[in-house]
Amino acid sequence: MPDVLMPALSPTMEKGNLAKWLKKEGDTVKSGDVIAEIETDKATMEVEAVDEGTLGKILVPEGTADVAVNTPIATIIAEGESASAAPKAEAKSAAPATPTAPAEAKVADTKSAEAKPAAPAQPVVAADPDVPEGTAMVTMTMREALRDAMAEEMRRDDTVFVMGEEVAEYQGAYKVTQGLLQEFGARRVIDTPITEHGFAGLGVGAALAGLKPVVEFMTFNFAMQAIDQIINSAAKTLYMSGGQMGCSIVFRGPNGAAARVAAQHSQDYSAWYSHIPGLKVVAPSNAADAKGLLKAAIRDPNPVIFLENEILYGQSAPVPQLADYVLPIGKARIVRPGKDVTIVSWTIGMNYALKAAEELAKDGIDAEVIDLRTLRPLDTPTIIESVKKTGRAVTVEEGWQQSGVGAEIAARIMEQAFDYLDAPVARVSGKDVPMPYAANLEKLALPSVADVVNAAKAVCYR
Amino acid sequence: MATASKNKTNDAAVSSAAPASSGSIATFNKDQEVSAYRDMLLIRRFEEKAGQMYGMGLIGGFCHLYIGQEAVVVGMQMALKEGDQIITGYRDHGHMIACGMDPKGVMAELTGRRGGYSHGKGGSMHMFSVEKHFYGGHGIVAAQVPLGTGLAFANRYRGNDNVSVTYFGDGAANQGQVYESFNMAELWKLPAIYVIENNRYAMGTAVNRASAQTDFSKRGVSFNIPGDQVDGMDVRAVKAAGEKAVAWCRAGKGPYILEMMTYRYRGHSMSDPAKYRTREEVEKVRTGHDPIEQVRARILSSKMLTEDEIKKIDAEIRDRVNEASEFATNDPEPDPSELYTDVYRETV
């Protein structure tokens, strides 16, 4: 004979008032019948019978205030049971209906409080593969390197396809997908309508079904239309499915400020995406890294945000001519070793950082410059080791300072290398304003080589 | 507000709960009637139990029950074949059970236990089964529509003849991403069936208070996607409509929209007092159009089964649900170490 319990009708309800009985003792009830009304602080709610039978005894009369959740409020006598069986069953407190779980849950809570699971240790990421002595280096633009990376992966794996606005017949709004349609055809190089939210979601759906989409955003500024699908669908599904359903997908395109396109087309999303567990975030600064990391991103079984930069597309650099040049995601690179101050940057920020290092050298300051290349997972050990050596650090980014990547790096240095610091960490960043259009104002809004030089000198007390 | 009070008794909703269906009604043999009865009853009893367990504090967060809408998923499932994919929103328990997912695993996910489909990390709104081709379980209204379109895209990319079925509600039907999806699906002739479960209320807002075009079967007109309005309370009508849509998609003709006229008996979620409609309105649908009672009545009147045989089925279903709830109550919570697993897949 099941008890009818005082139900919880919201995630936070602990007690309520039993306002009214709609059935009386002896009434027949069937599953779904409304038998009582209860009042919470928010609303009046109905209590429905779940079991069929006769309403036995009403244990809590109407008008009773503050009835705790899970208090038996009545009994229901099932067909064939007699009313006299009621008290006996009550005494036994109807085992199956008694919620034993909350007690168990508490036990588990205490246990988990005692033995808090340790966050996984920083994963060991392999170093860059050796480029054999004598390997030919081909000078190419980042644009060409990205195209080659996609083409090589598409040749290797038929489930890889490219989609986005103007990627096929137009050959790419920034010509990054040039020639792909000619080689792979319209089945695998797909022009989409201007519909970022829709095609990002469609790409995630295809990835859940086992394909490996490379979704191009004409710029990441337009990906804000799609950010729900990127975060809620792509980044979280593996976790929400208990590891069953993964999403191998690359979202790529130019990120950050180009030139003279003003506030809505000039935002740096490094901090936005690197905030999200479940995503990997890559932001290369040169052609070779772009090629090796995009190939890695396409092969990665997780969603990868691949942040490119319009200004860097045309910059050339030597790329090793290897059949399969793949770089590890999650590994920073010390581009310029030094001993006096660590400068940390990524993507276009490296232009400022490296030029600043040259300027500083003239003044006798030997800067070590780290190219992060990946923003999530962040290669903290490389930064920390460097800071232990130099005792000083400057971060450089085009994005805003508040909750930025530089803020995160500064926090990690403070947590892990506090005793090694000879000066507070300095952050060089975009100014805290929407990007202005006027040429002079735009220049002021962005970081400059001089800003980096000044910051480095400041932390060196020079 | 005048509009609110006007819509308190949504008579239009009730009278059209069984609309003049533009499709036909499938003829069911005994096996089909009994199997539909069994499958719908399993969902009904499962949901009642889930409601009860929520009331006992065993299920947390949000819990959206499917009671009243059972004929939609059961009828659609009868029209599908192995490999066809299913995706839906957060009112998803019925869809999972109809796909053949184990009620024990579903209920254990509702209670947040390790035996749940997502090992307790997803909850009521986020469950998946690769094996049963069930792609969730999505908590953001209409997010499943582009995702389901992507499943259809994958079928076409691979050149198989499977279809994807994307379920969403009358509320979700007003989201922009639905129309972005319709456009791409028709443009690329994707084998996508969009099932709009019109249960008359988007949370507390009646259809006519939120939708300029309340005939959702017409929502694909500007994309040239055909659509039918179907009596979603009659499992035979659902199956017939489903077969028509499936045939259209498998033939490579592109997507198809089915608007299922249905009704949810319970509130939007467990904490919804449902004051936007009258008790009489709910009662009218329950007594006049209940999807399970319809089949039960047909089975009895045509003497396919006796009253006793039906009672035996009822008892079996009740046992199955009790078994699920017992498992979900006694199964341990996930090991604390699970906190950090499944964020990333290992890179090969």
Residue A112's pLDDT is 47
Give A206's contacts in chain B (Cβ within 8 Å). 150-151, 153-154, 157
With CB atoms and an 8 Å threshold, state whether A201 touches B150: yes
At residue A69 the predicted structure's pLDDT band, cuts being 50, 70 and 90, is: confident
With CB atoms and an 8 Å threshold, state whether A301 touches B329: no
Residues 161 to 200 of B: which have CB under 8 A from any A CB? 176-177, 180-181, 183-184, 187
- Alpha carbon distance A66, A64 (integer Å): 7
- A345 pLDDT higher than 70: yes
- Alpha carbon distance A273, A106 (integer Å): 36
The torsion angles phi and psi of A51, rounded to 5 degrees, stand at: -105, 155
Question: Which two three-digit tokens encode residue B310?
Answer: 């039906």
Q: What percent of chain B has pLDDT over 70?
A: 93
Closest CA–CA distance from residue A443 to any residue of chain B (Å): 37
Query: Which residues are paired to B205 by β-bridges?
Result: B202
Question: Which two three-digit tokens encode residue A457?
Answer: 């000198």
With CB atoms and an 8 Å threshold, state whether B336 touches A69: no
Average of pLDDT values for A76-87?
62
- From A5, A10, A203, residue closest to B150, measured CB to CB: A203
Q: Which helix (H) or strand (E) holds A428?
A: strand A426-428
With CB atoms and an 8 Å threshold, state whether A10 touches B130: no
DSSP state of B256: E
Measured between CA atoms, the residue of chain A closest to residue B266 is A32
Closest CA–CA distance from residue B84 to any residue of chain A (Å): 11
- B299 pLDDT higher than 90: yes
The average confidence (pLDDT) of chain A is 91
- B153 pLDDT higher than 60: yes
Active site residue A197: no
At residue B155 the predicted structure's pLDDT band, cuts being 50, 70 and 90, is: very high
- Alpha carbon distance B246, B249 (integer Å): 5
CB contact A186 to B (< 8 Å): no
Best CA proximity match to A166, nearest among A152, A180, A155: A180
Residue A117's pLDDT is 86
The torsion angles phi and psi of B297, rounded to 5 degrees, stand at: -65, -40
Active-site residue identified among A152, A165, A216, A265 = A265
Please provide the DSSP assignment of A258-304 as one string. -SS--GGG----HHHHHT-TT-EEE---SHHHHHHHHHHHHH-SS-E
Average of pLDDT values for B283-305?
96
A&B contacts, CB < 8 Å:
231
- The predicted-structure confidence for B82-141, as pLDDT tens digits, reads as follows 999 999 999 999 999 999 999 999 999 999 999 999 999 999 999 999 999 999 999 999
Are B127 and B117 a contacting pair, CB within 8 Å?
yes
Amino acid at B293: E
With CB atoms and an 8 Å threshold, state whether B345 touches A246: yes
Report the complex ipTM.
0.93
- A85 pLDDT higher than 60: no
With CB atoms and an 8 Å threshold, state whether A7 touches B48: no
Higher pLDDT, residue A124 or B61: B61
The average confidence (pLDDT) of chain B is 93
- A102 pLDDT higher than 60: no
- A33 pLDDT higher than 90: no
- A114 pLDDT higher than 70: no
- The predicted-structure confidence for A4-23, as pLDDT tens digits, reads as follows 888 887 777 888 899 899 99
Residue B47's pLDDT is 97
- Alpha carbon distance B241, A375 (integer Å): 50
The separation between CA A312 and the C-alpha centre of its own chain, rounded to angstroms, equals: 25
Active site residue A265: yes
- B10 pLDDT higher than 70: no
With CB atoms and an 8 Å threshold, state whether A203 touches B56: no
Q: Which helix (H) or strand (E) holds A36?
A: strand A34-39
- From A100, A195, A239, residue closest to B184, measured CB to CB: A195
- B190 pLDDT higher than 70: yes
Q: What predicted TM-score, i.e. pTM, was given to this entire model?
A: 0.89
DSSP state of A225: G
Give A112's contacts in chain B (Cβ within 8 Å). 336
Average of pLDDT values for A280-287?
98
Looking at chain B, list the stretches that DSSP marks H as alpha helix, in order from N- to C-terminal side.
2-6, 11-15, 30-55, 70-77, 93-98, 103-110, 144-158, 176-187, 207-210, 235-250, 279-289, 291-301, 307-330
- B229 pLDDT higher than 60: yes
**CA dist B63 → A10, A267, B49, B92 (Å):** 9, 39, 12, 10
Question: Which two three-digit tokens encode residue A74?
Answer: 């009545």
At residue B14 the predicted structure's pLDDT band, cuts being 50, 70 and 90, is: low
Question: Which two three-digit tokens encode residue A325?
Answer: 């040049």
Q: Is A90 exposed, middle or buried (0-12, 13-18, 19+ CB in 10 A)?
A: middle
- Alpha carbon distance A449, A455 (integer Å): 10
At residue A90 the predicted structure's pLDDT band, cuts being 50, 70 and 90, is: very low
Residue A80's pLDDT is 65
- The predicted-structure confidence for A137-184, as pLDDT tens digits, reads as follows 999 999 999 999 999 999 999 999 999 999 999 999 999 999 999 999
- CA B147-B150-B153 angle, to 5 degrees, is 160
**Count of Cβ atoms closer than 10 Å to residue B183 Cβ:** 19
At residue A413 the predicted structure's pLDDT band, cuts being 50, 70 and 90, is: very high
Residue A332's pLDDT is 98
- Alpha carbon distance B312, B87 (integer Å): 33
Closest CA–CA distance from residue A246 to any residue of chain B (Å): 7
* Least confident span in A80-84, A415-419, B157-161, B240-244: A80-84
Residues 105 to 134 of A: which have CB under 8 A from any B CB? 105, 108, 111-112, 115-117, 119-120
- The predicted-structure confidence for B45-86, as pLDDT tens digits, reads as follows 999 999 999 988 999 999 999 999 999 999 999 999 999 999
Residue B75's pLDDT is 98
Closest CA–CA distance from residue B201 to any residue of chain A (Å): 18
Are A235 and B341 a contacting pair, CB within 8 Å?
no
With CB atoms and an 8 Å threshold, state whether A104 touches B332: yes
Give B153's contacts in chain A (Cβ within 8 Å). 202, 205-206, 211
- Alpha carbon distance A75, A79 (integer Å): 13
- A426 pLDDT higher than 60: yes
- From A44, A202, A228, residue closest to B150, measured CB to CB: A202
With CB atoms and an 8 Å threshold, state whether B180 touches A120: no
CB contact B25 to A (< 8 Å): no
- B303 pLDDT higher than 90: yes
CB contact B293 to A (< 8 Å): no
Residue B206's pLDDT is 94
Question: Which two three-digit tokens encode residue A411?
Answer: 């926090």
**Count of Cβ atoms closer than 10 Å to residue A24 Cβ:** 9
Does residue A303 have a cis peptide bond before it, meaning omega lies within 30 degrees of 0?
no
Helices then strands, each counted (H, E), chain B? 13, 8
Closest CA–CA distance from residue A424 to any residue of chain B (Å): 32
Higher pLDDT, residue B46 or B6: B46
Residue B1's pLDDT is 35
Sign of the alpha-carbon dihedral angle for A443, A444, A446, A452? positive
- CA B258-B263-B269 angle, to 5 degrees, is 110
Give A101's contacts in chain B (Cβ within 8 Å). 57-58, 111, 329-330
At residue B269 the predicted structure's pLDDT band, cuts being 50, 70 and 90, is: confident
Give B156's contacts in chain A (Cβ within 8 Å). none
At residue A120 the predicted structure's pLDDT band, cuts being 50, 70 and 90, is: confident
CB contact B102 to A (< 8 Å): no
At residue A95 the predicted structure's pLDDT band, cuts being 50, 70 and 90, is: very low
With CB atoms and an 8 Å threshold, state whether A204 touches B146: yes
Residues 56 to 75 of B: which have CB under 8 A from any A CB? 56-58, 60-62, 67
Q: What is the 3-state secondary structure (H, E, C) of A379-409?
A: CHHHHHHHHHHHCCEEEECCCCCCCCHHHHH
At residue B4 the predicted structure's pLDDT band, cuts being 50, 70 and 90, is: very low
Question: Which two three-digit tokens encode residue B185?
Answer: 């699906």
Mutation for testing the A interface, residue in B128, B167, B180, B282 having most A CBs under 10 Å: B180
Residue B103's pLDDT is 98
DSSP state of B131: T
